Amino acid sequence: MDKHLTRLAEIYKAIDNLYDAAMRHYDFRCEGCVDNCCVTKFYHHTNIEELYLSEGLKKLDEDKKKEILLRAEDVVKIHNSSPDDVRVMCPLNEKGLCIVYEHRPMICRIHGVPYQMFKKNMSIEFGTGCYKFINEKLNENMQYFMFNRTVFYVEMAKVEKELRESLNLTEDYKKTTAEMVVSILKPKS
């Protein structure tokens, strides 16, 4: 595997380990959620995550890729004609499961439990967790599990910088998962 992808895989592994520990700490599970986070319009900001996702999509058969591409194009159309808080299922979710689970982007791995993050201006952002967490677990007696996202974002930015330099990429990157899928699977004309 390319060294940038290997490094990203390590970052994802570290996220998954901390996330699992947080879930155990809170005794919290996604099962039974009526507010599937896969319908949220998340943006991704790195080329390296698109490359990693493309590794997962490569493993699918050609018919499945065509099916997903059609779904992704539909989602992009809906996103482009709706307010930013529109809720529409990710084209990579089938029957409630992510079909590229091992290659899903960072936000899919990290969303759900409360977190903190140090911003560039040294302010600290706190997140309360997802809808289900707020309803089931968030209360004044809750023991906070230290989930500091900062290191993951910093490490991801380093890998992205190296990738951009090696490929001479200069444009800003901002895509939804559906847009990523279209970029990866749409035949280049």
Provide the minimum distance between the beta carbon of 92 and ligand SF4 in the complex, in angstroms, as a whole number: 4
Applying CB under 6 A, which of residues 15, 75, 76, 92 lies at the interface with ligand SF4? 92
46 binds ligand SF4 (CB under 6 A): no
Binding mask 128-167 vs ligand SF4 (x if CB under 6 A, - otherwise)? Answer: ----------------------------------------
| Alpha-carbon dihedral angle through residues 139, 140, 141, 147, given to the nearest 10 degrees | 70
CB of 171 to ligand SF4, least distance (A): 23
Closest CA to 38 of 77, 84, 87, 4: 87
Residue ranges in 62-91 that form contacts with ligand SF4 under rule CB under 6 A: 90
| Of the candidate residues 46, 47, 176, 177, the single one contacting ligand SF4 (CB under 6 A) | 177
Total chain residues near ligand SF4 (CB under 6 A): 8
Question: Taking the complex as a whole, how short is the minimal distance between the CB of residue 95 and ligand SF4, in angstroms?
Answer: 11
Please pick, from the candidates 78, 86, 88, 98, the single residue that binds ligand SF4 as defined by CB under 6 A. 98
- The footprint of ligand SF4 (CB under 6 A) covers 38, 90, 92-93, 98, 104, 108, 177
